[in-house]
Copies of this chain bind each other. A is one copy, B any other.
Amino acid sequence: MAIIVQKYGGSSVANPEKIKKVAEKIVDTYKNGNKVVAVVSAMGKTTDNLIHLAKQIANIPPAREMDLLLSTGEIISVALVCMAIESLGYQAEGLPGFLAGIKTDSNHTKARIRTIDIRRIIKELKNGKIVVVAGFQGISPEESITTLGRGGSDLTAIAIAGAIKAERCEIYTDVPGVFTADPNIVPEARIIPIISYKEMLEMASAGAKVMQSRAVEFAQKYHIPFVVKSTFADNGGTMVTEVDLKEGAVVSSVTLDEKQSKITFFRVPDKPGVAAKIFGALGKENINVDVIVQNVSIQGYTDLSFTVNSTECERAFEISKNIGKDLGCENITSDSDIAKITIIGLGMMNHPGVAARMFKALADAGINIEMISTSEIKISCIVKKKDGQKALKVVHKEFIE
């Protein structure tokens, strides 16, 4: 008998009505002859409410207590989902993370799963029960409750699926799958039926809001295929798995990230150690640098630009100004009037000329490219913010429609 792991996010269990619907979905899967483990997140606003409570007690609530507090949100969902399943006449067993055997390190608020002791889950499945597990949480070696950080429930589901060798892992969310581009901007966008872990990871870092990287990385590392699909619609869905290079699309998706800012150092002395100094300082402050471009050196000076997430731009700019002074740099500017357009595709590795096609498509549409960054299966271009959506459409048309 096949075991299916299903994960339902916060919006899927946001209120009692939705919880009843989720229970029906779980029971349907069970009635089709499967054993089911459902992993659930906290109801819509629960986590925010708990954080609000904590902030009234302490400005910076301690991490360990925060984990204990937030872990209750998923447990509430578990209890309610179990009640809904039992109302339908089926037996359920609700397990907080620690009872489900989720053992993590002690890194509170962003713990990593170390092992899963699957005995309890297997025992309940053997008893014919539907097992409902609280996502996002585990227990540390010191026996304190931990949480896994953002996207933690996806991670719980994928890790359990791997540990119990589930036949299928289904990540239910509020979109019907992974799209070739944001359908709100590109009406021609369509659902990608199958995609590789690598491409999913590039999409997450390119600004697509599908899944947190950690869960996908985990799935990739342990070879756990999963499906992303809508909770409340039956069709669609994207399978994320290993994809043979030969079968990979040249370009599987196009993403637009409008939340990037550019910082430019003008006339930096071009000598060894300059880049290390700048990016070392930013790294020490945990600021993620994305695209980096350095011009050719003219008379011993060069211009250097890089992009950061807009939320971190102000901090990055302050740090940059300090370093700029030390380096004797002429001027430093920051610019949030940019957008990043990225094409991702496993097939790119075997198809030369993809970059040229992208640049030409943008040029034909009169869009100027300010910066370019590439990896094995990805090409990103920075353009003016006003050109972002147009760029998305023309590139999508060029490669996908």
Which of chain A's residues 43-101 have a Cβ closer than 8 Å to chain B? 50, 53-54, 56-58, 61-62, 64-66, 68-69, 71-72, 75-76, 78-80, 82-84, 86-87, 92, 94, 96, 98-99
Is A209 engaged at the interface, CB distance under 8 Å to the other chain? no
When distances are taken between beta carbons in the complex, the residues of chain B under 8 Å from A80 are 53-54, 57, 65, 69
Contact A83–B57 (Cβ < 8 Å): yes
Contact A61–B83 (Cβ < 8 Å): yes
When distances are taken between beta carbons in the complex, the residues of chain B under 8 Å from A79 are 54, 65-66, 68-69, 72
Is A285 engaged at the interface, CB distance under 8 Å to the other chain? no
Contact B62–A86 (Cβ < 8 Å): yes
Is A316 engaged at the interface, CB distance under 8 Å to the other chain? no
CB-CB nearest in chain B for A87? B58
Contact B76–A143 (Cβ < 8 Å): no
Is A283 engaged at the interface, CB distance under 8 Å to the other chain? no
Q: Is the interface of A mostly helix, strand, loop or mixed?
A: helix
Contact B68–A50 (Cβ < 8 Å): no
Asked if A57 meets B120 with Cβ closer than 8 Å, knowing A75-B68, A79-B68, the reply is no
Contact B83–A65 (Cβ < 8 Å): yes
Chain A contributes a number of interface residues (CB within 8 A of B) equal to: 37
Is A16 engaged at the interface, CB distance under 8 Å to the other chain? yes
Is A145 engaged at the interface, CB distance under 8 Å to the other chain? yes
Copies of this protein in the complex = 2
One of B50, B58, B69, B145 near A86 (C-beta < 8 A): B58
In the complex, what's the smallest C-beta–C-beta distance from A67 to chain B, in angstroms? Answer: 8
When distances are taken between beta carbons in the complex, the residues of chain B under 8 Å from A82 are 62, 65, 68
- What is the CA–CA distance of A20 and B58 in the complex, to the nearest angstrom? 10
- What is the CA–CA distance of A349 and B213 in the complex, to the nearest angstrom? 75
Is A19 engaged at the interface, CB distance under 8 Å to the other chain? yes
Contact A143–B57 (Cβ < 8 Å): no
- What is the CA–CA distance of A78 and B19 in the complex, to the nearest angstrom? 27
- What is the CA–CA distance of A96 and B83 in the complex, to the nearest angstrom? 22
In the complex, what's the smallest C-beta–C-beta distance from A118 to chain B, in angstroms? Answer: 14
Asked if A53 meets B16 with Cβ closer than 8 Å, knowing A68-B79, A72-B72, A76-B72, the reply is yes
- What is the CA–CA distance of A53 and B80 in the complex, to the nearest angstrom? 8
Asked if A83 meets B99 with Cβ closer than 8 Å, knowing A53-B16, A53-B76, A76-B50, the reply is no
Asked if A143 meets B99 with Cβ closer than 8 Å, knowing A57-B19, A68-B79, A80-B69, the reply is yes
CB-CB nearest in chain B for A84? B57
Asked if A20 meets B72 with Cβ closer than 8 Å, knowing A96-B145, A145-B96, the reply is no
In the complex, what's the smallest C-beta–C-beta distance from A102 to chain B, in angstroms? Answer: 14
When distances are taken between beta carbons in the complex, the residues of chain B under 8 Å from A54 are 79-80, 83
- What is the CA–CA distance of A134 and B142 in the complex, to the nearest angstrom? 18
Contact B78–A94 (Cβ < 8 Å): no
Of listed A68, A71, A99, A144, residue having the most chain B CB within 10 A: A68
In the complex, what's the smallest C-beta–C-beta distance from A179 to chain B, in angstroms? Answer: 33
Q: Which residues of A line the B interface, CB within 8 A?
A: 16, 19-20, 50, 53-54, 56-58, 61-62, 64-66, 68-69, 71-72, 75-76, 78-80, 82-84, 86-87, 92, 94, 96, 98-99, 120, 143-145
Additional A-B contact list (18), CB under 8 Å, known A16-B53, A20-B57, A69-B80 = A16-B56, A53-B80, A57-B84, A57-B87, A61-B83, A62-B82, A62-B86, A65-B80, A65-B92, A66-B83, A68-B75, A68-B79, A68-B96, A69-B75, A71-B75, A72-B79, A75-B75, A99-B144
14 interchain pairs, CB-CB under 8 A: A54-B83, A57-B80, A62-B86, A64-B94, A65-B82, A65-B83, A65-B92, A65-B94, A68-B75, A68-B78, A72-B72, A72-B75, A96-B145, A99-B143
